Each structure stands twice: as C-alpha cells, then as structure tokens.
Structure 1
Amino acid sequence: MLPVPTRRLALVAALAAAVVLALDVDRRLLLVDGVLLVLAAVDWALAPRPDRVAVERDLPGVLALGGRGEVVWHLDNPLGRPLRVALADDLAPSLRPRTRRIRVRIPRRGRAEGRTTIHPARRGRFELGRVTLRVEGPLGLAARQRRVPCPGLLRVFPPFRSRDEAELRINKARILEVGLRSAQGRGGGTEFDQLREYSVDDEFRRIDWSATARAGRAIVRTYRAERNQTVLLLLDNGRVMAGRVDDVPRVEHAMDAVMMMTAVATRLGDRCGLVAFDRRVQRVVGPAQSRTQLARVTEAMYELEPQLAESDYAGAFAETLARFRRRAMLVILTDLVEQAVGESLLPALPLIVRNHLVVVAGVADPDVVGWAASSPRDASGAYRKTAAVRALEERRRTVARLRGLGAHVVDAPPGQLAPRLADTYLAVKATGRL
C-alpha cells in the first residue's frame, strides 16, 4: 500500500518555507519540516485502507463504434466519518474518455458517484480490471493509495449505418408483396400464394381457368417471392480489407453491408448466415431466419480485425460447401483489386458458381475516381492521375473477369455498397433466380 503526500501537504510546506525564509531563520525551517513530517505520518496512519471503500463501475455493456456512452463509478463508505477519495480508472485511450480521474467526498456510511463519457474510436472487446483509489487522512496531508479490483466488460460493435436504408427496402418489398394485397399488386414471384378475383391490373395469362369455371367469374392465381431461401455472406478479413476508404477501413463498410443484408433477408422470410475468413475461417454463423440473427451476426464480427495476409478463398469456399450444401446466394465481400482477385478469388470461383448464385461486392474509393478525372497542374498531380486511371482500368478488368465466370458484381462507393447489395438481392428474389 503506497503512502502518498497530498497537495495540501505540499501547499502547507511551501507556505511554511516561505515564512521561515522571510524571517531568515534556518533552524525554524528544520523544525517546521519535522513537525509537518510527523503530522503527515500521523495522517497517513489514520487514513483508511483503500480496500475499505467499495467501488463499482457501471458500463453501457454494448456501444456502437462512434456512439457515446456513460461510465459511472459508485463509491461506498462503511466508516463513521466522511472520506475524501480520488479514483483513477484504466480506461483504454481508444474509448476516448472525457476524464479518467475523479475526486469525491463520501459522507459517513454513505455513497458518492462520479461520471464520465466515452466515445469509442475502435471496435472490439474491452475488459476493464482494476482502479486506483487514493484515500486521504483526516488532516488531508497524506493518503493511502492502492489498486483495487473492479472488473467490467464493454463491447464496441460495428455501427449499422444503413439501418434506415434497410427499413425502406423491407417496407417497400412488403408493400409490393401479394400477401399484403397491395391495390396494384400483381403477384410477382415463383411461389403460389392464393386465388382471387380478376382485376383490370392483372395479366391475362394468370387466369386459372378451372377455378374460373367453378366460380362463374374470372379468377387469377397470384404468386409471391419464395421464402426460406438461403443467403450466405462471406466476409473477407484479409490484407485487402485493411485499406481505408473515406477514412474508414474497408472491412467496416463490408460489415455495414453484412448487417443490412442480414436485416433485409431475415425480415423478408429468408435464412441468412455469415462466414468470415482470412487465411482460415474465423467465424461461422449458421443460416437462420430468427429475429435474433442480426444480433448473432453482429456479435460474431465485432472483434474481427483484418489480418495482414492474403485470404484463402479456396479453403473458405471448401469449408462453406462442406457445412452448407443447400443452394444459396453467396455474397463475397472483398476488395476488387486485380492482383488479389486474380491470384486467389478467380481460381477458386468455379467451386461455387456451378451450384450457387454468386455476388462479389466491393467498396470503390471516390478519391481514386476524383484523381482519375482531375486536371493535374504539376508533375505530382500527373503521376497521381496516371496511377488512378490505371487502378480504375484494373478494377474494370477485374469486374469483367468475375462476370465472365458467372458472378454478379456490385462495385459501389461508400454509403451505397449496402443499399446496392440489398437491391441486388431483392432483384434476384423478384425474378426467381435463386
């Protein structure tokens, strides 16, 4: 247990020294120092042990990256006199706390609390351990200091930036679905829904002549998009996903797309799952249609950090096919870099395009597009424009090669990747290609 002089002791010593020096009497200075030292020792001896103070920490539990939360420390004093206590918490710098230190006065046999706000700048799991308590003596000249246990857990999840876009698409799909009997609904899809009376908006070919003969009036067959189909999201967690677009790692854009696809697919009656991989498969969430699937997928992703190595697509595809044999829409979220795609993804793609509908999605860098369209004014600008034009041309070749092997490709700028991917899914459902 560490004895610590307080600011009050330092202030008293400084004032005493100033007075004695003004009187020009050195012996008095020594006497004052001795008295202060004795008083500080007595004060330290009378100071309660820090572990006598009960401390608890309230945390949000779960926060979204970039969100705000509050940390509250509760301190209980079991003694019959008030205490002055300072607390320092080992909050990670990436949580960006407003403060990590508080000073409180706890009434006798009472409770006090301190607060701070946090604004996480990094995803992941934060396990909080000990806090440092400093309890002052009754004179305020010395204090006892000790680190005491105060366990806590904070999880910072990826933000669901496209939540509103997801709700718009879910609502639109439900309105258009024949099951909701939209006034203009024509009953698209491939799964039989119901028989109903013919209206002027119905297609003539949908008339069910047997039902018409029985009812004595025109009856049509209506269809809806099939349900309980499978969507598997394959999240590349390798080197190419560590690059930043709009000052956000590519993997963060991909995670937003994963969450939007999971929300849309499960709410519209399909089963959605996740496979996250780099050199090996890191996370697997089996396809499900439950209301909790979005939470399960998000929890599986929140600790992932891109590995600085090439991803093993062949291994990931082989494990995916071994686990899930049912035909599915496989959505591969990666970066459409020619070298990485050409060396790893393209050779492995034939493993899955034969029996599955494959979509490859990546986020485009608007800065590169801007540099390619710029009018350079110096040599540096010219080199940058040349490199950007070359990068875009390589990206176009990559997209063409992927499509040539039978994959659908979504290449969209930040903020549009998730909505464009969801639109592709809805188009596939509407045409019955899955």
Structure 2
Amino acid sequence: MRFIKDLYLSNRFFTLLVSCGVLFVVSFFLPLLYGSAKAIFAVFIVLTLIDYLSVFLLKEGFFARREMAEKLSNGSENEIYLYLENRYTFGTYVKVIDEIPHQFQKRDVLFKETLKSGESKTLRYWLRPVKRGEYEFGAINIFISTVIGLTRRRFRFDQGKTVPVYPSFIQMRKYELMAISNRLPELGIKRIRRIGHSSEFEQIKTYVAGDDTRTINWKATARKGSLMVNNYQDEKSQQVYCIIDKGRVMQMPFEGMSLLDYSINASLVLANSAMIKGDKAGIITFSNKISSILKADKKPVHLQHILELLYNQRTQFKESDYDKLFANIRVNINQRSLLVLFTNFESLAAMRRQLPFLLQLAKHHLVLTVFFENTEMDELLNSRPANTEEIYLKTIAEKFVYDKKLIVKELNQHGVHTLLTPPAKLTVNTLNRYLEFKARGLI
C-alpha cells in the first residue's frame, strides 16, 4: 500500500499523457502518424516506470525533522528550522510543506529546494503568534521527484507536537541584554538625569575625578587629610505591582494582538527590569473579580512564577470591578508601592466612574494609570473627507481623541500619574516612566 499511498503524479505526467492522447486522435485522421504515436507512448510508459522505481526502491531515501524552541513567545518572531537530508544516490527536487498550527491561518508554508546526493540543508522561517495558549504542529510532508519529474514520492515525518505560547520572553530578554550592554537608548529608553539624592547612603570613599562635588564629606576630609565623598546606592526593595485589567475593554485588537496581550508582555518586561534594579515585582489581575495575586518578590525563581501566572490569564468579557480591586489592595499591600494599572478608558464618563477608586489608591500608593491611543483611527484622522458620511466619521474620531486628552488632563489634576501610549510603544513608554519615578525618588 505504501507504493500507492505515497505516489503522486506531477503536472508534467498529465501534460504528456494528454499530448499522447491528442497524438492518437490525430493519427486516426493521418494513419502515417500512428506508428510514431505508439512509439512515443511506449517511451512515456518506460520513463514513468523508471521514474517511479527510482524514487520508491530505496525505503528511507530522505530524512527531515523540525527544530524549534520548547515554547513560543507571544507577539515576537519565533524561528522554526527544517533539517533536510537527501539519502538517494542521485539529486532530487524537493517540495516541503510543514503543517503549522491552525491559529496562524497560513497555507503557504511551502519550500522548493534542490538537493544533491548525500546533501543536507536547513531551512528557516518565522512564526508570530498573537494569542497565548497551546499550538499544535502537525507532520512535515516531503515530495521527492527526479530530473524526469513524472512522479513524486511523499515522505511524511510525523512530528506532531503541542507547543505553549507564553508572554513575550523574547522581548524581555532583548531589553535585559540591552540594559546589560548599556544600549537601552537604541530601543527608545531615555537616559534620565537623577535629581538630588533620593538614594541610600552606602559608604565614604576617596574622591576621584568626576565625582559630584556636592557629595564631599568635609568632616571625613578633615580627619583623613584628603578629599572624601559620600557614596550612594539606589534605593532598593521597593514594591512594583503590575495590575492588569482583564475586562472587555482590553479585548480591542491592534495588529492582531489584544490590548490584554500587549499589557501582559509589558508587565513581564517591567517586572524583570524592576527585579534587575533590586526592586520587588508583583502581579494582580482582575475583571469583575480578583483573578490572581502574586506577592511582590525579587528571588530569581520569582520571574518563572510571573511567567506562568501571565500565561494562564483569560478574560470573561465582563465589566471590571474597581471597588473589589481597591479593597483587595488595601488588605494585601501594606507597604507604599508603585501600582502600574494597565486598563483602557474610551470615554471621559468611563474614567469618571472609576476615578473615586483611583483617588483612594493614590492616597496610599504611587499610581500610574496606563491606557491606549486608538491608532486604528490614524488613517481616518489624516484623510480628507469626500462626503457627508466621511465628515461625520472623522468628527467622531476627533471627539474620541480629544476625550483621551481630557482623561489625561483630569487624572493629572487629581494627582494620578497617567500614560497614554500607542500599543506598539507600550513597553518602552512604561519602562521610561518607571525609570523616571526611580530617578525622581518617588518610589
């Protein structure tokens, strides 16, 4: 059955078969061509048999495997490798079809290669998932043909595998590596000048060129007989909580990803950055009820706990309850902390409904409210309306944009820090605000 099940006839085969049929029909009217038609048909049959035997006589004439990470990173380009090895004694033409998960809705993962006898080759392509969860990869289908090209043999390598898609750990590692190599400005992270000394005293040391003269310790200088300066270190072990709203307002999609997934990716990067800075990072998720709470910590294993918690977040598409959020924070967070609230206010009325709870939180903690610009309306805002309907739509879009600015202004007037950002720049802008708060000594 293998010789039939894995046999595929090429377009060239059918083209030649139809040509032979046409030649026989013509020979009916021109009998002199009948002998030539039979000879050509016989050659066609012989070539088909030779081609068929060439690709089917060797049982394991080809090998392929898929190589990839144990988990994929949401919202990032993930590399997938296909290793091909030709074990035939002749060169082959290869078609590769990889069965990728249905979530990508791609049917064009097709590669065409030519491999010499004994040659191996590695193909590479990228997949960008936009939702967390489990993705099912299927088999690798290889179609082999010879230079004759009348028949193809299919090799099917069953590499079915379920791969989890986690929050964007690739993005997190990129920011971490950039921080280590002092290249964060390349990603848009600003260098913020430290104002005053909002730091903890560490030690007294000898003055060297470049030290701030304002830190000179004159008493120690008099005792030592040489210039001595106070050395400070950043205040550490401050608590940073990422609070993620999972209500229906966070399901709006931008470039394939929901605002919830953008917030989860940014929370992972912010938590990792805070822990690198010596602060403690925690996570709270809520919608109509408190979904999960992860106490702030800075142990190395804590980052894995954050990753696992964020991976399992889902929404019930319900109205978020800020009253329960406030009550829960008052019970569980006793130390003054930075609360980064990822939510989305589409109207001034929606913000004012939650404003009393935000003000109560701001009395006890440093609150940064992060919400999103609707970048999908940029094209509409920059267009020139051609009729009354387009004028109406553009006016409504301008009203939405104006409301967002009013929300920022009103929150700032009440002492609640705000960040209005495009979804694509969420991580960079959030990190900048965190570093700004550290530099100003607000936390």
TM-score by length of 1: 0.68
Asked if the contact 2:95/2:142 (under 8 Å) is kept, the reply is yes
Relative to 1, partners in 2 of residues 1:111 and 1:336: Cα closer, same or farther, differing over 3 Å? same
Matched, 1:21 2:25: yes
Alignment partner, residue 120 of structure 1:
128
Instruction: Tell me how far 1:329 sits from its aligned partner.
Output: 0.9
Matched, 1:265 2:281: no
Alpha carbon RMSD of aligned pairs, Å? 5.3
Instruction: Tell me how far 1:191 sits from its aligned partner.
Output: 2.0
Query: Which of 6, 9, 17 lines up with 1:6 in the alignment?
Result: 9
Alignment partner, residue 110 of structure 2:
100
- The CA distance in 2 between the partners of 1:218 and 1:46, in whole Å, is 85
- The CA distance in 2 between the partners of 1:123 and 1:160, in whole Å, is 15
Query: Which of 320, 328, 334 lines up with 2:337 in the alignment?
Result: 328
Farther-moved stretch of structure 1 (359-368 vs 399-408): 399-408
- The CA distance in 1 between the partners of 2:418 and 2:303, in whole Å, is 24
Structure 2 spans left out of the alignment, 5+ residues? none
Matched AA of 2:125: T
Matched AA of 1:241: M
Give deviations 1:326-358, integer Å, cap 9, x for gaps.
432110011122355455x44654674453322
Secondary structure of 1:150's partner?
Answer: coil
- The CA distance in 1 between the partners of 2:151 and 2:97, in whole Å, is 17
Relative to 1, partners in 2 of residues 1:408 and 1:187: Cα closer, same or farther, differing over 3 Å? closer
Asked if the contact 1:134/1:145 (under 8 Å) is kept, the reply is yes
Matched, 1:73 2:90: no
- The CA distance in 2 between the partners of 1:374 and 1:5, in whole Å, is 52
- Superposed counterparts of 1:11-410, under 5 Å: 11-24=15-28, 43=52, 47=56, 53-59=62-68, 62=72, 65=75, 67=77, 69=79, 71-75=81-85, 77=87, 86-92=95-101, 94=104, 99-102=109-112, 107=117, 110=118, 112-113=120-121, 115-118=123-126, 120=128, 122=130, 124=132, 126-134=135-143, 142=151, 145=154, 147-152=156-161, 153=163, 155=165, 158=168, 160=171, 163=175, 167-168=184-185, 172=191, 176=194, 188-195=197-204, 201-202=213-214, 223-244=232-253, 249-251=258-260, 254-255=263-264, 257-258=266-267, 261-278=270-287, 287-289=296-298, 301=310, 308-314=317-323, 325-338=334-347, 339-343=349-353, 345-346=354-355, 348-349=357-358, 352-365=361-374, 379-392=388-401, 394-396=403-405, 398-399=407-408, 402=411, 407-410=416-419
Farther-moved stretch of structure 1 (238-247 vs 297-306): 297-306
Relative to 1, partners in 2 of residues 1:44 and 1:408: Cα closer, same or farther, differing over 3 Å? same
Asked if the contact 2:189/2:432 (under 8 Å) is kept, the reply is no
Relative to 1, partners in 2 of residues 1:207 and 1:402: Cα closer, same or farther, differing over 3 Å? same
TM-score by length of 2: 0.67
Asked if the contact 1:75/1:112 (under 8 Å) is kept, the reply is yes
Aligned residues: 416
Relative to 1, partners in 2 of residues 1:114 and 1:132: Cα closer, same or farther, differing over 3 Å? same
Matched AA of 2:214: D
Instruction: Tell me how far 1:99 sits from its aligned partner.
Output: 3.8
Structure 1 spans left out of the alignment, 5+ residues? 177-185
- The CA distance in 1 between the partners of 2:365 and 2:129, in whole Å, is 38
Matched AA of 1:16: C
Alignment partner, residue 183 of structure 1:
none
Q: What percent of counterpart residues are identical?
A: 19
- The CA distance in 2 between the partners of 1:405 and 1:347, in whole Å, is 10
Give deviations 1:226-266, integer Å, cap 9, x for gaps.
11111111223433233356887544654564355335423
Instruction: Tell me how far 1:5 sits from its aligned partner.
Output: 3.9
Instruction: Tell me how far 1:384 sits from its aligned partner.
Output: 3.5
